Chain A
Amino acid sequence: MLDILAAIIIFALWALVPILIGLLLGADRILTARLQGRRGPTVLQPLKDMAKLLGKRAKQVNLSQVAFAYLALALQAVAVLLLIAGGDVLASLLISGAGAFVMVLGAFSVRSPYSSLGAQRELVQILATEPVLLLVVLSLGYANGTFLASGNGTLLIASLPLAPVAMIPAFLMRLEKSPYDTATAHSELVAGPYTEYSGRALGIIKMAHWFELAVLFGILLLFFDLPDPVMGVILKAAAVATVVVLTALIDNCTARTTRWTLLRSALPLGLVLVGANLTTLYLINNGVI
């Protein structure tokens, strides 16, 4: 009976994920607007955008393009479900990574130069973020003794304070902020891999992106687990709010750089931060320091 109840809660949470991410993106848009001296949309705007897109007719270039969009959504949704169900974090990250590659394949499946350019940018982003995220999850597994999300229960940020910091460039990229040039700006160039999607197919690929964001936030929140569930939820909400404010601030305070600058800066920074943290933790655990 308890198992059925737990399963219902897990699936309810899973179904709520797109709504929560939509609200989070709405808050992000309001914050960005206020930083720019504008009023901005309502917090529900991303959800309204999604509802509109899913209700529109899609103009597909070819069938494989749409198939890749649905496959990307399925992979990202499974990755999120695995994380919510307390499954393997490493498997969740790898499935989400596969989803990101499928999205790139979808962009490459059409003959549009803009879509191809967007796909290449996406690949550079994957190259810059995935090794760092992998090391973050490995360090999480080392500190925790298990890769299971359910095996957590301690405040990991105390022993791995630099790992969430190393994830910030990944958040900047996945939240499509402008320092790294696949931003949601005003031309075909920067719309990236979404260029050739339209209507419902665009909604599906955007939904896949929302689930991808959920995986990223899910991994971050594992660092803020507390034995007390109420305090844990408050701490996690504070962590998510901090990331949203920080990324909006960085977005509005920095000039736009190229994707190669991103690769040169974010990848070494992330690897050095997590590597240093992991080494220190190893030395402490072995009584060297």
Chain B
Amino acid sequence: MAARREATSPWLLHFDTGSCNGCDIEVWALLTPRYDIERFGMLNKGNPKHADVLLVTGAVTRKSAERLKRLYDQMPEPKLVIACGDCASTGAPYVGCYNVLGGVDQVIPVDVYIPGCAARPEVLIDGVMVALEKWKVKKEVKA
């Protein structure tokens, strides 16, 4: 009961690790009246300490890796990480570039991978919902 109640209030933190901004625009589209993620209780927070879900867009560059790790560490438990789009999921098509480490899971643990180039807003909402199922498991493990 408690887990279900908590799972309806995800606060999101968005971080761009080197994206082309395609996925970023789709993430911001979530806030518009067309997609209105607030109806699912989701809020966009600019502060890792207030966030429950980290939305990461773009392949992880060497420069952004440390910042990504620091943001992840600042989020209080329990927390979820979602890799938004193909770049964040696998690093493709930039794998092997001198300045790219790869997907988000090269730096921090990822709970849900969302495919797409760019990831559609509907799939992003679905991804957060899938992630919230994991939230319940994490709460139970903690308990």
Contacts and interface: CB of A to CB of B under 8 A. Distances in A.
Given A48-B5, A186-B46, A188-B46, A56 B33 contact: no
Contacts of B77: 56-57
Nearest to B14: A186
Contacts of A38: 33, 36, 38-39
Interface in B59-96: 74, 76-78
B99 interface: no
A86 interface: no
Given A188-B47, A197-B49, A40 B74 contact: no
A33 interface: yes
Contacts of B39: 33, 38-41
B111 interface: no
A194 B51 CA distance: 13
Chain A interface size, as a band, is: 20 to 34
Contacts of A40: 36, 38-39
Contact of B50 (A33, A42, A51, A202): A202
Contacts of B74: 59
A55 interface: yes
Interface SS of A by simple majority: loop
Contacts of B38: 29, 33, 38, 40-41
A115 B8 CA distance: 28
A36 interface: yes
A30 to B, nearest CB: 10
18 contacts: A29-B38, A33-B36, A33-B38, A37-B33, A38-B39, A40-B38, A41-B38, A41-B40, A42-B41, A48-B5, A48-B8, A49-B9, A51-B6, A51-B9, A52-B5, A55-B139, A186-B46, A191-B46
Contacts of B24: none
Contacts, number: 74
A187 interface: yes
A198 B46 contact: no
Interface string A112-135: 000000000000000000000000
A153 interface: no
Of B40, B76, B139, chain A has the most CB atoms within 10 Å of the CB of: B76
Nearest to B39: A39
Interface in B1-52: 2, 5-6, 8-9, 11, 33, 36, 38-41, 44-47, 49-50, 52
Of B33, B39, B74, B139, chain A has the most CB atoms within 10 Å of the CB of: B39
A39 B32 CA distance: 11
Interface in A256-289: none
Contacts of B33: 36-38
A52 B46 contact: no
A59 B71 CA distance: 13
Given A40-B38, A48-B41, A59 B9 contact: no
